[in-house]
Chains A and B, each alone.
Chain A
Amino acid sequence: MSSHNVIPFSEEDARRVFSRIRKGTFSDIFLQYKVTTSVRIEDGIVKSATRSVSAGVGVRVVDGESTGYSFCETFEPDDVARAAGFAQAIATSGKNGTQPLRGRLIPAGALYSPEIPLIETDISFRADLIRRVLKGAESFNPLIDRVTVNMTDTDDKILIFNSEGEWGKDSRPMVTLSASARASRNRNVQFGRSGVGMRMGFELFESVESPESIGLRAAKQAVTMLDARPAPAGMMPVVLAPGESGVLIHESVGHPLEADFIWKKASAYTGRVGEKVASSLCTIVDDGTIPFNRGALGFDDELTPTERSVLIENGVLKEFMHDRITSDVLKMARTGNGRRQSFQYVPIPRMRATFMEKGQTAPEEIVAGVKKGIYCVAFAGGQVNIASGDFVFVPSESYLIENGKITTPLKNLTLIGNGPDALNKVDMVGDDFKLSTGTWVCGKGQTVPVGIGLPTVRISELTVGGASNEE
């Protein structure tokens, strides 16, 4: 594999570094060579192009519940050994196990081999792709007066060794394209956004969505928003469209089930495995094995193979999402959720692709049952307070439901709820599951790409935070 061409570091080098680590119970070396290329359209022209290279090595020394970390930005074994010295500074006890003579290779699998490779593809190919997005947006409607398109592709090669003799290498592609369109009518100015982000090569634009369609979606949303009215304020039923609404799951229950918050007893779900924490209609899964998904990984950033983890089954809490340390400290099975932004960061428990499984109700029936409520289609994002369980999610495209019909588009609203409370109020789940293909990035001190998904879901009551005080 080509990672050895760009990361000149052998098993022998790794062994020499480990031999310098005298303390601690576990250590690993994470080597990365990542090339990121971006092109941007603004004012109707290809405005800029950027390439950056991020290359380096992170060394971690774990001593029970303590972690020491350091990194260097070269692959020189001496520099890596020096980083190892800094990393072991806080280790007080333990002794890393002796090195097995033969390393054990952890396979990365083949969840995301690109057909049209990234780094090898000419820059002009990228410029042509984003021009097609621009055309798709501009040709939708004359009210569209500004379009911005950004495409970033990342060729990420990693190589990991640990003190237990395991090692593995992986090549992780990612293509992220987002389009923003502005529609103006008289003095009313509104924006629309669309995007696609997948762990695959440029074939994405043939197999997932065409550039023209991505542009068109942004334009369409902007034009729709021209007719949007201020959202109402107060408690009411909320129906979530399939796909992007998975933000709800990510925020309301995803983060609080990351095991570092359980270990620190910071999460509202601490100590509650086996208890009913959600409506029986809710089965919630975090899966690292969905081919080409943004959250797909053969193994995580500490060599644990990923899996499909059922977090909540029919409303009952089953398990948390672990990295190596939390699974050791809490004596629970590894799940392969240890992820990091780059070699500059320690791995921590993170989501991969998190979603709710589909139910049995026809989506039309779900909407038809709502007298007055909100129907949410697209989202700007969300946030959660792990401890209290309060979470927000912010729709960028949503509609009023009146007497069972989706009617007026709404603007300027945030939805707020409490995780366990909202999940108990899920009273209808559609049979129309969809994974989002959007450009989701999760921030938790470090950013990582994630996947989300949801069927149509109804929450019987949630606080809708609009600015309108009309009944």
Chain B
Amino acid sequence: MKSKDVYREIAAELVRKGKADFDYVRVYISAVEDREIEVRNGKPENSSFSDSISMSVVASREGRTASAGGSDISPDGRNFLLSSVRELIQVVDPDPWYVIPEENMIGSADKKLKMMDPAYETQTVGQLLLEADELEKKALATDKRLASTGSAASVTKVAGAFACSYDFSEGFEGTDFSLGISLTVDDNTGDSVNVGRKQRNGWSTTAIHLKDLEKPDKVAEMAASRTLAQIGSRKPPTGEFSIIFDPNSSRSFFSSLSQALSGGSLYRGESFLTDSIGKTIACPLLTVREDPFLPKGLGSRLFDLDGVKARAFPILKDGVLKNYLLGVYAAHRLGMSPNGCAGGSSNFVVEPGSGTVDDIIAETMRGILITGLMGQGADIRTGDYSRGAEGFFIENGRILYPVSEFTISGTFQEMLAGIDRIADDARPDSSVLAPSVRFQRMMVAGS
């Protein structure tokens, strides 16, 4: 891996070279160095070390756009990319909506994001091995019934650059660290014909700076308690119930919402939220903002994939839709202004309410806490929502028993309108910061 400045120079040079043939050129280079160790039963099972790079060129001429990519950044490799684009662009039709970004939008926001932790260097393969091994020992020590299916520690360093016509070029770099474990336990309770049934769960933590990772004791404790708590799980009854999403489930819901609000889905007519600016699309409890400048945020950035300067702005205010997430092309299609969201949201931040998931449970008379979701049944095009789930049945503010092999169904529209409680327990280790939420009512199909 080379420095971001080297990549910046390469990217800028390629843009200069492409200028002769094209009206507008963008180049993106991203190099990734990655070390990962996985331990099982005290022995290293997998180690990997990689150093890779990818480079892409997107170029336009008379409204036609084509692109090419590869890992060869040598002068020959760069020439190959340009000649590929020249060949490909001949079969592309002119796009009547094609637009070149306005020059005054292009640039890098003036913020400090703290995306680089020098502790990367200290996380050698040997150190990762120690940490993964320690985590596994702690987790297995909590309960004799637990078995490990792998404890992993990894570090990643990214360096890259963006350049486009208008002589703009900028580098970027960052690190991230993660630690996690997956556990199983035999679960032969009940009269299932599935005599080999086990429960599997785990916990992991990710952060831009090493010291922000959750402590191994916490990770081990979470993984063990989540796995053990599922023993004896059964189908809940079929019917309508209050549904609570824990922070992990909530993250998946809000990340779908963020896609539904992204320019690409909207201009293609593939979102249930087309033509909704200014409309009430959710309950008044819900406020969401786009924040690219969270220090050490997993999605933080200074510019987007178009080279447009990043900015923070409200997305939903008290349930009313304020802004879409727009790149240059989608904004043009929709007759709006780009807001630094080519490629989607940076950090999608749901404003917290109060308390944690435990407080919501305590306030729930009858319902189901969802801790895991399965399947592709979240359709942002129509808003249809039907997914496999697992979790816990709640009555009178208490967890009664674990549940699995059931589905929850409704629509995004009903779910957004039906949010009646938001906690303040979002996990910081994602670019979607989503606390636990409760939906007033959803259809549950179980036994």
* Chains A and B bind each other: yes
Q: Which residues from chain A sit less than 8 Å from chain B, CB to CB?
A: 39, 42-43, 45-56, 65-74, 86-87, 89-90, 123-124, 126-127, 145-146, 148, 182, 189-191, 231, 233-235, 264-272, 344, 346, 380-394, 411-414, 416-421, 424, 463-469
- Rank and list the top 3 A-B pairs by shortest CB-CB distance, nearest first: A465-B407, A387-B200, A392-B388
B196's nearest neighbour on chain A, judged by CB, is A268
In contact, B382 and A466 (Cβ under 8 angstroms): no
In contact, A421 and B194 (Cβ under 8 angstroms): yes
Interchain nearest-CB distance for B58 vs A (Å): 9
In contact, A189 and B382 (Cβ under 8 angstroms): yes
Q: Is B238 an interface residue (CB 8 A)?
A: yes
Partner of B238, one of A74, A233, A268, A381: A233
A463 touching B235 in the complex, CB below 8 Å, given contacts A190-B382, A414-B387: yes
In contact, B72 and A233 (Cβ under 8 angstroms): no
Interchain nearest-CB distance for A188 vs B (Å): 9
In contact, B196 and A269 (Cβ under 8 angstroms): yes
Chain A residues within an 8 Å CB radius of B80: 53
| CA A389 to CA B56, docked complex, whole Å | 41
Chain B residues within an 8 Å CB radius of A466: 386, 409, 443, 445
Partner of A264, one of B43, B149, B444, B446: B149
In contact, A390 and B88 (Cβ under 8 angstroms): no
The number of inter-chain residue pairs (CB within 8 angstroms) is 270
18 A-B pairs besides A50-B88, A69-B47, A416-B388 with CB distance below 8 A are A55-B71, A55-B72, A71-B50, A72-B51, A90-B47, A126-B91, A266-B200, A268-B194, A268-B197, A385-B374, A388-B230, A394-B386, A412-B379, A413-B407, A418-B192, A463-B447, A464-B445, A469-B443
A69's nearest neighbour on chain B, judged by CB, is B48
Chain B residues within an 8 Å CB radius of A267: 196
Is chain B's binding surface mostly helix, strand, loop or mixed? strand
Q: Is B406 an interface residue (CB 8 A)?
A: yes
In contact, A234 and B238 (Cβ under 8 angstroms): yes
In contact, B200 and A388 (Cβ under 8 angstroms): yes
Query: Can you show 26 pairs from A to B with CB atoms below 8 A apart?
Result: A42-B268, A45-B95, A48-B66, A48-B92, A53-B80, A89-B47, A89-B125, A123-B87, A189-B382, A265-B184, A266-B200, A346-B48, A382-B375, A386-B200, A388-B197, A391-B388, A412-B386, A413-B409, A420-B196, A463-B406, A465-B377, A465-B406, A465-B409, A467-B409, A467-B443, A469-B239
In contact, A70 and B388 (Cβ under 8 angstroms): no
Q: Which residues from chain B sit less than 8 Å from chain A, CB to CB?
A: 37, 40, 43-53, 56, 65-72, 80, 84, 87-95, 97, 125, 129, 147, 149-150, 184, 187, 192-200, 230, 233, 235, 238-240, 268-270, 372, 374-377, 379, 381-382, 384-388, 390, 404-411, 443-447
In contact, A388 and B198 (Cβ under 8 angstroms): yes
In contact, B200 and A52 (Cβ under 8 angstroms): no
Chain A residues within an 8 Å CB radius of B196: 267-272, 389, 420
In contact, A414 and B70 (Cβ under 8 angstroms): no
Interchain nearest-CB distance for B125 vs A (Å): 6
Interchain nearest-CB distance for A414 vs B (Å): 4
Interchain nearest-CB distance for B127 vs A (Å): 13
Interchain nearest-CB distance for B441 vs A (Å): 10
Chain B residues within an 8 Å CB radius of A419: 194
Give the most central of A43, A412, A466: most B CB within 10 Å: A412
In contact, B92 and A388 (Cβ under 8 angstroms): no
Give the most central of A148, A233, A264, A414: most B CB within 10 Å: A414
| CA A235 to CA B376, docked complex, whole Å | 20
A233's nearest neighbour on chain B, judged by CB, is B445
A412 touching B47 in the complex, CB below 8 Å, given contacts A49-B88, A53-B70: no
Chain B residues within an 8 Å CB radius of A417: 405
In contact, A463 and B407 (Cβ under 8 angstroms): yes
Interchain nearest-CB distance for A103 vs B (Å): 27
In contact, A70 and B48 (Cβ under 8 angstroms): yes
Chain B residues within an 8 Å CB radius of A70: 48-50
Partner of B50, one of A182, A189, A344, A463: A344
A55's nearest neighbour on chain B, judged by CB, is B71
| CA A50 to CA B92, docked complex, whole Å | 10
| CA A51 to CA B88, docked complex, whole Å | 8
Chain A residues within an 8 Å CB radius of B200: 266, 385-388
Interchain nearest-CB distance for A3 vs B (Å): 18
In contact, B268 and A148 (Cβ under 8 angstroms): yes
A50 touching B66 in the complex, CB below 8 Å, given contacts A393-B375, A412-B409, A419-B194: yes
Chain B residues within an 8 Å CB radius of A383: 374-376, 388
In contact, B53 and A73 (Cβ under 8 angstroms): yes
| CA A394 to CA B373, docked complex, whole Å | 13
In contact, B43 and A65 (Cβ under 8 angstroms): yes
Interchain nearest-CB distance for A347 vs B (Å): 12
In contact, B404 and A390 (Cβ under 8 angstroms): yes
In contact, B46 and A67 (Cβ under 8 angstroms): yes
Chain B residues within an 8 Å CB radius of A73: 52-53, 71-72
In contact, B66 and A465 (Cβ under 8 angstroms): no
| CA A71 to CA B444, docked complex, whole Å | 47
Chain A residues within an 8 Å CB radius of B386: 231, 394, 412-414, 465-467
Partner of A50, one of B68, B239, B240: B68
Chain A residues within an 8 Å CB radius of B89: 49
Chain A residues within an 8 Å CB radius of B195: 420
Interchain nearest-CB distance for B27 vs A (Å): 14
Chain B residues within an 8 Å CB radius of A191: 270, 381-382
Give the most central of B52, B129, B230: most A CB within 10 Å: B52
